[in-house]
Structure 1
């Protein structure tokens, strides 16, 4: 019996839980994309510590909504992983499987996997079957708010840090100045040279016709992929676009359920982008990874980039973690345990469990811990 299957069948009893609530953790410069902003803080509201009967601690980023899940598991009962997961998963059924309740189930599931990996003495990526301890990463940034010189400085720093694939935001101010966007693309292409890979992200702004017209205007800049050009659930427009676009289309950040991803495959996307911490379970992400392999599609994943690295390590070497540096570098800075950022890669630590853990002493010193609740 393999380790993963064996862990799923072992019993777990939860003895206690600790929920840390954070004050806003500000980032140095607010970030804007085409349809949102300002994003001025790390997207981290709370942190869960979940202890089993042996004192092994499972951790995960979460929200205060985790307080709806904790009473379901702090019952003194002993169950297998599958029994616990199914109990929590179906308890949120009437909230739907595409909202924040589903996300919170996924984060509970991450804490469960942290416990199981630690029980086996394995880092999470090895527990999930990874054969390597590193992942390729692409630098994401170039927010629409930046001046030309600010954008140049940011890209030059990305290059200095060893990144060779880059993603930038386009469709500034809801597409109000496309000429400016095209000039920004030209500048970045010139900075990274012909060998650098460049992707662009429109954050779901357009319909198929509008996206196609923009793609035609920028295709000569050798764009690796056009991300979220249409609404994430407008599959009719998406299918129209994939049939005519001169640039490969990438989708998949918005779903909270892995089962939705097949609709993107049928619609003709060339890259899937599941976010582990936004799906309703670890196996949802693994399902999408396997779909990407089956249909020979590219695979990238963002979100909490340094946690995502454990998942991408189980995929193909060419698959990448998205590192939204303006937001997630501060997340990296407040972690005590974390992957090493080096030469455009993340190198995963060998400690058992998930590869990040907050530096609570630093967070306390920064005045970022608002409350701690014990269950």
Structure 2
């Protein structure tokens, strides 16, 4: 039995190539990356990470180093469910989501990477396998882009291999959102998969009005129309808005997804593996969605999520996010004719350039 020997946590502030904006998070010029490297008693290593924007990622480091690492150090590296359970209860009183669950996520991802490496399997196969080719969309973070820049970005996305695109909505005047979506739809054509993301901008009533105004443009989904806390409001939007609804990037526990799904308040559950509790919880959300005959999508960290969706029979489009680590990866995720393919390398297969990251140490 290999036991957990060391847990190393590092934090970085990574600049974005383009300053990004949405309706609630303001200007985003960088993201805060926290990595975890776990080494077992045989010398094998697994790596996980989480991230934040404008929200104090150093708290993740404190949670991991002072609270989670002591829970798992010296224990069976393969007992991931038990380790997850014990980490959860260690920070439960002050956690139950938020920063605590993001910290657990990074550790959990590292543990699964380590386990798959020891098994000599890529994670998507270790999770049972379904299809390594996963449909992927480009997640634009472009609320303040002038329309011409928005359309130019859409052209670039297609040149990069994407065959589905998401744009931001949630401007101060709904008419402007409608006009921008109309221009995108005209530019892309009637059958091109197009999503829109409001980033929780509206009340439920405002979201219903917006959804009805956008219903004629054939959106695959309208994402995060209101705050994640308003489950009843989401159910009304699904019922009355005439557009499928995606939500979940701000749901941080399995139980929050259970409430949203059983209330009929979401069409496309959308967990983020870096904040929902890691791969352990993401897989349970995917199974919960499948049990309710719902497709599963994702938020962010596409280089990790591709393994999870490659193992999920109810998967749909995976987001390729603007907060990308491509500049620091030995083999960034390739998109070919609308699909990403899960790596065949053991574990998640990510190799970070630690020397290049060092200049951005927080």
TM-score w.r.t. length of structure 2: 0.91
| Secondary structure of the corresponding residue to residue 17 of structure 1 | strand
Equivalent in 46, 55, 67 of residue 58 of structure 1: 46
Deviation of 1:309 after TM superposition, in Å, equals 0.8
| Secondary structure of the corresponding residue to residue 217 of structure 1 | helix
Q: What is the aligned partner in structure 2 of residue 323 from structure 1?
A: 320
- Provide the alpha-carbon RMSD of the alignment: 1.9
How big is each residue's C-alpha offset from its partner over 1:335-366, in whole Å with a ceiling of 9 and x where there is no partner? 124433322222222211113221123324xx
Deviation of 1:247 after TM superposition, in Å, equals 0.8
Alignment of 1:145-184 (within 5 A): 145-172=144-171, 176-184=172-180
267 and 83 in structure 1: CA distance in 2 versus 1, 3 angstrom threshold: closer
TM-score w.r.t. length of structure 1: 0.88
- Which range is displaced more, 245-254 or 310-319? 310-319
Gaps of 5+ in 2: 51-59
199 and 78 in structure 1: CA distance in 2 versus 1, 3 angstrom threshold: closer
User: In 1, Cα distance between the equivalents of 2:307 and 2:140?
Assistant: 22
91 and 151 in structure 1: CA distance in 2 versus 1, 3 angstrom threshold: same
Q: What is the aligned partner in structure 2 of residue 241 from structure 1?
A: 237
User: In 2, Cα distance between the equivalents of 1:318 and 1:283?
Assistant: 17
Deviation of 1:87 after TM superposition, in Å, equals 2.5
Equivalent in 14, 17, 34 of residue 25 of structure 1: 14
Alignment of 1:304-319 (within 5 A): 304-316=301-313, 319=316
Alignment of 1:1-375 (within 5 A): 11-22=1-12, 24-44=13-33, 46-62=34-50, 63-64=60-61, 65-68=63-66, 69-74=68-73, 76-78=74-76, 80-172=79-171, 176-268=172-264, 269-316=266-313, 319-324=316-321, 326-328=322-324, 331-364=325-358, 367-370=359-362
How big is each residue's C-alpha offset from its partner over 1:266-322, in whole Å with a ceiling of 9 and x where there is no partner? 332211111111112423211111122222212110221111111111113751211
Gaps of 5+ in 1: 1-10, 371-375
State whether residues 205 and 231 of structure 1, in contact with CA within 8 Å, keep that contact through their aligned partners in structure 2: yes
54 and 170 in structure 1: CA distance in 2 versus 1, 3 angstrom threshold: same
Deviation of 1:158 after TM superposition, in Å, equals 1.1
Deviation of 1:117 after TM superposition, in Å, equals 0.5
4+ runs deviating over 6 angstroms: none
Deviation of 1:94 after TM superposition, in Å, equals 0.9
Deviation of 1:116 after TM superposition, in Å, equals 0.8
User: In 2, Cα distance between the equivalents of 1:312 and 1:345?
Assistant: 12
How many corresponding residue pairs? 349
244 and 77 in structure 1: CA distance in 2 versus 1, 3 angstrom threshold: closer
| Secondary structure of the corresponding residue to residue 26 of structure 1 | strand
User: In 2, Cα distance between the equivalents of 1:85 and 1:262?
Assistant: 19
User: In 1, Cα distance between the equivalents of 2:157 and 2:226?
Assistant: 28
Deviation of 1:168 after TM superposition, in Å, equals 0.9
User: In 1, Cα distance between the equivalents of 2:277 and 2:220?
Assistant: 29
State whether residues 294 and 314 of structure 2, in contact with CA within 8 Å, keep that contact through their aligned partners in structure 1: no
| Secondary structure of the corresponding residue to residue 137 of structure 1 | strand
